[in-house]
Chain A
Amino acid sequence: MTNDELIWRIAGGSGDGIASTSQNFAKALMRSGLNVFTHRHYPSRIRGGHTYTEIRASADPVKSRGDGYNFLLALGDSFARNPQQNAYYGNEEIKPLSENLDELHEGGVIIYDSGLLDASEIEDFDERVEENDWHVYDLDLRTMAREHGREVMRNTAGVGATCALAGIELEWIEELMTDAMPEKILEPNLEILHEAYDMVEEEYDVDAHDVKIPEGEHDEEQVLMSGSDAIAYGSIDEGCRFIAGYPMTPWTEVFTIMSQNLPELGGISEQVEDEIAAAALALGASHAGVKAMSGSSGGGFALMSEPLGLAEMTETPVVLIEAMRAGPSTGMPTKPEQGDLEHVLYTSQGDSHRIVFAPGTVAEAYTQTRKAFKIAYEYQIPSIVLYDQKLGGELVNVPASHFDEEPNPSLGSTLTEAEIEDAPHDESGKFSRFRYDTPEDNGVAPRSIPGQKGGRFLATGNEHMPEGHISEDPENRVFQMDKRMRKLEAIREELDGDGVNNTEVGDEDAQYGFLTFGSSQGTVEEAVERLNDDGHSVKMLGVSEMAPYPVDQVTEFIESVDEVLVVEMNASAQFRGLTQKEVGQYGEKLSSLLKYNGNPFEPEDIVEGFEVNIVEDDEHPHTRTKFVPAAGD
């Protein structure tokens, strides 16, 4: 594998510029014609702490992080606070080198900054190097950076050295740096880049190892995009011009992108006192005739429960974004998990009726956010886009043409003043906003907007008559409840008709199936390809439509195979639970592979989980994942 892909890991402390350096590096590789996929690992602190970004680059499409990696650039944590050996958290300064060794492939390359790190502090370092045939380059990046500019530029020195060792042409990096850096720091950075490159070329045999950059070519223009970018752009292209929010990792990224871009589009962004207010503002703006959104991560979304229920009861269109992170409670703020599925499906009192999409890829994050808005406004129902720290932060290349779509600013089922005149009113002139004898049999009664003549009505969280008057009349209650629920059936039908949100891969006649949802999809997809290459017969269904659930499609999938392994990042098998509840049977056919240690699945986790548990029926040896057998096993 080392010959056809580069998996480069840059490791340092928070504040060492890992994020920006890796983003530029990924973009440079994309521009050179490669497919890229990044994976971030960082702690919940401002400065210091072991952090890394991994960039996987290949001529073939990449849908996941890899298994381990083959090239380490260890900068050392320049913000480390407790260098004492006996401290509880250990010596942090050395962690970017010491913590990353376990996952480095045999024959891999290590560059470390000898200006900051002393490898002799790592137990058995030399033995491990020899055992694994690692190629180690201890370069004083710190001094090099100091001589030309500032110490923080040792990132650049590391990139220069990487290019020399991996055979990456410097022009790709230069071009990127020229685009991204202000002139003042560009010059010294370019000098450092070249010096490091030249020094390595002169002093080392760069062909002593075989970790080299592959060559690739794109057949159309690509953009480097994260899930957060895609969600924000999908919202903008659906005409969303109002967002309200409160900062919380990892949702903050979408909120930030929207807040930076909305003013120039004549939109409004509001950072408010808490998430209850944030969701309530989105409702208020939508009620007043604007396409609006809010969002948060688990804890903040919990505060949105009541406004979410109010949106259901008042049939106010709104889109809420939920970026999962490891829970419960504060959990692990910067680590991914898919543990909020049940939370977003059911939170808020009463019978929930809402739309939930869990996009599996960056490209899907764009299209499904758009679909979430479209359904919310056409059916007057809250839509939720459920994603996680993994999808939000991973950068991948997507064809630019994927975003070349017409905007859709339509408010959906909303009347103009002229249309209101002909619409039904009660004897006192109140507009029958909540008529249950809807024009079409989809439960949707078009709405009016405050300020429109003749359109006044009452929206209320209480059960209400067609004009909005509060009512506990039993007959009206059933009519209204059925009207609201009818929307879900119509939406289910529409989604079935589209047939684009859930992803099936593999041979239709395969013997075994994988079922997964959301951001784990790409990794399962890669595992399926590998298993089939190894002679197994497997396929996958990656589900994005969490509610209303695609019962027919999933039933058909389960019925078509002998056994199904359900893959998800949580400890209680929430997606399997949802699936069983929705399809109402097959408990004996569904087993689970779970991972909840704060790191997303690697393809190998899934390959092994399948081989050991499904094919060989052995004891599950893996400590990173957990196998839960099917009922009756």
Chain B
Amino acid sequence: MSAFSAIGEGKEIDRNDYTPGLEPQATWCPGCGDFGVLKALKGAAAELGKSPDEMLLVTGIGCSGKLNSYFESYGFHTIHGRSLPVARAAKLANPGVEVVAAGGDGDGYGIGGNHFMHTARENHNMTYIVFNNEIFGLTKGQTSPTSPKGHKSKTQPHGSAKQPLRPLSMSLNSGASYIARTAAVNPNQAKDIIVEAMEHDGFSHVDFLTQCPTWNKDARQYVPYIDIQDSDDYDFDNTDRREAAEMMHETEDALHEGEVLTGRYYVDSDRPSYQQEKRNIGEMPEEPLAERYFDDSYEWERSYDNFLDKHK
């Protein structure tokens, strides 16, 4: 019997079950795109029948990190840029837990960029939502890794001399096996994409455009948006990494021309998740490791029996 009976319970869940009973301290501004992520995540989790007790939502620092305050589940609000290593270890320790990590563009693509690259490379079976508002919001509007070239802010008074980072391309090159972009103003698509991301067996990366009405008025509201799968203007095979790469590049350029392209950019269903790869080489137990600590009948090994002979 599992010590974690919330896992896979499959009971009927209403999206309001993820609303904390206690009103969270309000930290998001009216009109903030972050509400769009919250709504989409609640809808997706409810659709998949995940109970709040079987979900672990791991966040970084910034307005995005406050998602934990608005979403009822197990949560780990970590430190700036480090949500991914915390999240992926939790998944290794107990693969039954539904692990979702979230953070902003500075958190995920800037300070945590190394973790992003490696978590994608390893293809951990988890979902990562990046709130991309092209700005540092909580610290009041500084230029971020995704801010367009020429972006002026208090810390870049002459406009940024840097090209913005290309999140989708970086993700593809690093090895993510599900890559999508959606926008807060497109709630139905956002929910569907998060459902797919959570169901995908591997690292799912959702670049979520979240308008910042307070500090990034330039980006407007990410409207009008185009769903590349629905539009006749775009025709590409998102299981082909060359075509995906082309489409990502075009999408990243288009954003700064005022054209908001969204949709599913890359899906690789064949690549085994890291958990599977690790099991294949005998470096990860079949039974969730966390269960062992609650199993009174487990006979724990000790060094005296296992390792001492070679020292004699």
Contacts and interface: CB of A to CB of B under 8 A. Distances in A.
Contacts of A221: 312
A406 interface: yes
Contacts of B85: 244, 272, 276-278, 280-281, 284
Interface string B90-134: 111110110000000000000000110110000000000000000
B31 to A, nearest CB: 22
B21 A409 contact: no
A273 interface: yes
Contacts, number: 244
A281 B308 contact: no
Interface string B1-31: 0111111010000000000111011000000
Given A270-B89, A272-B118, A469-B69, A461 B78 contact: yes
B86 A281 contact: yes
Contacts of B9: 453
Interface in A278-337: 278, 280-285, 287-292, 306-307, 309-310, 314
Contacts of B68: 458, 460
Contacts of B90: 284-285, 287-288, 450
Nearest to A226: B311
B15 to A, nearest CB: 16
A241 interface: yes
Given A284-B86, A287-B86, A405-B304, A451 B79 contact: no
A96 to B, nearest CB: 28
Contacts of B278: 268
B62 interface: no
A426 B21 contact: yes
Contact of A280 (B78, B292, B294, B302): B78
Given A280-B86, A287-B90, A430 B21 contact: yes
Contact of B77 (A236, A268, A269, A460): A460
Contact of B75 (A267, A285, A404, A468): A468
Contact of B311 (A225, A291, A405): A225
B236 interface: no
A566 interface: no
Given A277-B118, A290-B93, A265 B312 contact: no
A451 B92 contact: no
Contact of A462 (B77, B93, B284): B77
Contacts of A239: 293, 300
B155 interface: no
A469 B311 CA distance: 51
Interface in A214-239: 221-225, 229, 233, 236-237, 239
A372 to B, nearest CB: 16
Q: How large is the interface on B (under 10, 10 to 19, 20 to 34, 35 or more residues)?
A: 35 or more
A452 B74 CA distance: 10
Contact of B5 (A273, A417, A462, A471): A417
Nearest to A265: B301
Interface residues of A, number: 83
A242 B293 contact: no
B290 A289 contact: yes
Interface string B286-309: 010110111000101111101110
A425 B66 CA distance: 21
Residue among B54, B300, B304, B311 with max Cβ neighbours from chain A (10 Å):
B311
B92 A450 contact: no
Contact of A430 (B3, B22, B311): B22
Contacts of A12: none
A405 B300 CA distance: 12
Contact of B114 (A262, A264, A273): A273
Contacts of A224: 311-312
B302 A456 contact: no
A282 B93 CA distance: 10
Contact of A314 (B25, B76, B89): B76
B157 interface: no
B283 interface: yes
A285 B73 CA distance: 18
B94 A273 contact: no
A429 interface: yes
A17 interface: no
A287 B24 contact: no
Contacts of B25: 469-471
B42 interface: no
Given A310-B78, A456-B53, A426 B292 contact: no
A278 B77 CA distance: 18
Given A263-B282, A263-B283, A471-B25, A407 B86 contact: no
B92 A285 contact: yes
Nearest to A460: B77
A306 B82 contact: yes
Given A273-B118, A281-B86, 5 more contacts: A222-B312, A267-B285, A460-B75, A461-B78, A470-B66
Q: Which 3 A-B pairs rank lowest in CB-CB distance, beginning with the nearest?
A: A428-B21, A451-B4, A284-B89
